[in-house]
Amino acid sequence: MNNFFDRIDPTEFTDTDYGIMNFIVDNFKTVSTISLHELAKQLYTSEATIVRFCQKAGFSGFNELKFTIKTQQFKLVQPTNFRDQIELKTTELKQFLHNISTDNMQQIVDLLSSKKSLYLHGRSLSSIPVRYLHTVLNSLDRRCILVEDLHLISSISQTINSNAILLIISAGASYDVYEPIFKAAQRNHATTVLLSCNQHSRLTTLADFTLFSDDKFITYHGTDVNSRIHLLTLVQLLIESVSKRLV
C-alpha cells in the first residue's frame, strides 16, 4: 500500500498536502472506514482542505479516494469468510458500475428503443442474459427476434438489411466464430452491437457499438463456469433505460 500514491504528481502539494498524504499512507485501514468530518478532526484541518488534496491527487473527492483504498485492500487480502466475500463482490460491482461507458450505454439504448428490426443472439451460458433481454423487450412491446443457433444467425447475417440491428452477447467474443457474421452484417450495412467480457477481442474493430463487463473467465475441469453477473447487470441497466423510453 505504500506505493498507493506513486502515480501522483506532487509538484503542487503544500506542506499540508504532504501531511495528509503521509497520514493516509500510515493509516489506510482507519481512513477507509471513517467519514470526511472525522478525518478532518484527526488531522486538525478543514474538510475543504482534504477535498482539495484528494482532487490534486487525481480523485473526484474523499469518497472516491476512500473507495479506492477499500478496493486496494481487498486486492491485497483475499477474503476468508462469507461476509468478507460478499463485501469484496460488492466493492467489485461498485467499481464496475463506476467504469461503465455511459456514452456507449446511451447509444445502445437509443438503438434498442428504435423501431428498427432487432435480432438477438447468444449461446451457451451467454444465452441466459440474451434470453432475459428478449423476454423483457417483448413484454415492453419492443418486438425482437431471438436466434440462439449459430448457423441460423450466420445465415440471417447474410441477408439482413440496412434497417436492422444485430446484437450479440458473447462472454469470450471468439473472433473465429463471429468474424464472418459481423462482416456479413457490415456488408449489408446493418448495425451491429457486441456485449462481452473480452475487451481485447478483435471483434471490437468490427462491431459498430460495444459494451463490456469485467466478469472473470473461470473454468472448472475445462468447463466455463463464469457467472456473467456483471454482463447480466449491463443487460439490466439497458432494460431499465429502454423501459423509460417505451413505457
pTM score, two decimals? 0.66
Say what the pLDDT of residue 2 is. 44
158, pLDDT greater than 90: yes
Residue 130 is placed in which grid cell?
Answer: 440474451
Domain boundaries, the chain: 10-99, 102-246
How is domain 10-99 classified at the CATH fold level?
Arc Repressor Mutant, subunit A (1.10.10)
DSSP tag of 165: E
| The domains spanning 10-99 and 102-246 adopt the same CATH topology | no
> CATH assignment of 102-246?
3.40.50.10490
Say what the pLDDT of residue 5 is. 58
Q: pLDDT of 78-120, one tens digit each?
A: 555 667 667 767 777 787 788 888 899 999 999 999 999 999 9
Q: pLDDT of 170-205, one tens digit each?
A: 988 889 999 999 999 999 999 999 999 888 889 999
Q: pLDDT of 18-28, one tens digit each?
A: 888 888 877 87
Say what the pLDDT of residue 57 is. 82
